[in-house]
Amino acid sequence: MHNIGFWNVRGLNNVNKQKIVKQFVQNNEICLFGLLETKVNGENVHNISNKMLEGWCVTTNCNLHKGGRVWLLWQPSIFDVWVLQYDPQFIHVKVTVKITQKSFFLSMIYAYNEGVERKDLWAKLENIASMSNGPWVMAGDFNTVISPDGRMGGNTKQEDMDDFIDCITTCGMTDIHATGAYFTWTNKQDAAHRKFSRLDRFMVN
């Protein structure tokens, strides 16, 4: 199996977290993996990635954002990966499965927290859509929801939702069916102040 995955790890300098990630990848037979919000300095990327997933290739957007918001790792025996665009909020690549020579595009995304900053992300993804032809996967933490039921215990900004919806409509994207917990983020506060959101998703054209 040639599974693809991602994880908003919220810090990867801890050795125990590195071991957990390695075990997760092995247990789920993942061969192409995105890591978000690693908080790892650029000079430590290859050391840490090799400890977790020895022999894998890695690329990051560390040069554009301190702390490496997006890492992309893959098994070179299974995939050829060409980076087409680096951005503070995403890495966009073309992936070819070696055994079949079939290709697809992948955008691994970690959007900014503020809606006004995400507008640049939406515009760039729409520009990619206008120039791309072929299968395309968007995956990651979009830091906003598609509908009010994607958030519980907090307010939802209509403008932020509208911007996201306009982008995925323009790009021709639809959610991949998911199993497990509906919400992907919580503020982990006590019950009276706890908030939940569905921020992480896989989408395909």
Asked whether residue 187 is domain-assigned, the answer is no
pLDDT at 118 over 80: yes
Kindly state whether residue 18 falls inside one of the protein's structural domains: yes
Burial of 112 (0-12, 13-18, 19+ CB in 10 A): middle
User: Is residue 44 one of the residues assigned to a domain?
Assistant: yes
> For the stretch 62-97, what's the b/e string if a residue is b when 16 or more beta carbons lie within 10 angstroms of its beta carbon?
beebeebbbbbbbbeeebebeeeebbbbbbbbbbee
pLDDT tens digits, residue range 132-150?
Answer: 899 999 999 999 999 887 7
Is 37 inside a domain boundary? yes
Does the pLDDT at position 183 exceed 70? Answer: no
pLDDT on residue 185: 61
- Residue ranges making up the domain that contains 129: 3-173
Residue 182 has pLDDT above 90, yes or no: no
H or E element that contains 117? helix 115-131
What confidence category does residue 181 fall into, taking pLDDT thresholds of 50, 70 and 90? confident
Assigned domain for 191 exists: no
> How many structural domains are present in the chain?
1
Mean pLDDT of 177-203: 76
Determine what percent of the chain is predicted with pLDDT higher than 90.
Answer: 78
Q: Which two tokens stand for residue 175?
A: 């959610």
Residue 77: both structure tokens together: 């025996």
33-76 tens-digit pLDDT: 999 999 999 899 999 999 999 999 999 999 998 777 999 999 99
Phi and psi torsions of 159, nearest 5°? -60, -40
Residue spans of beta strands (DSSP E) within the chain: 3-8, 30-36, 57-60, 70-74, 79-87, 90-97, 102-110, 136-141, 151-152, 174-175, 185-186, 196-197, 200-204
- Structural domain contains residue 193: no
Nearest-10 crossing angle of helices 115-131, 158-170: 10
Q: What is the CATH number of the domain that holds 39?
A: 3.60.10.10
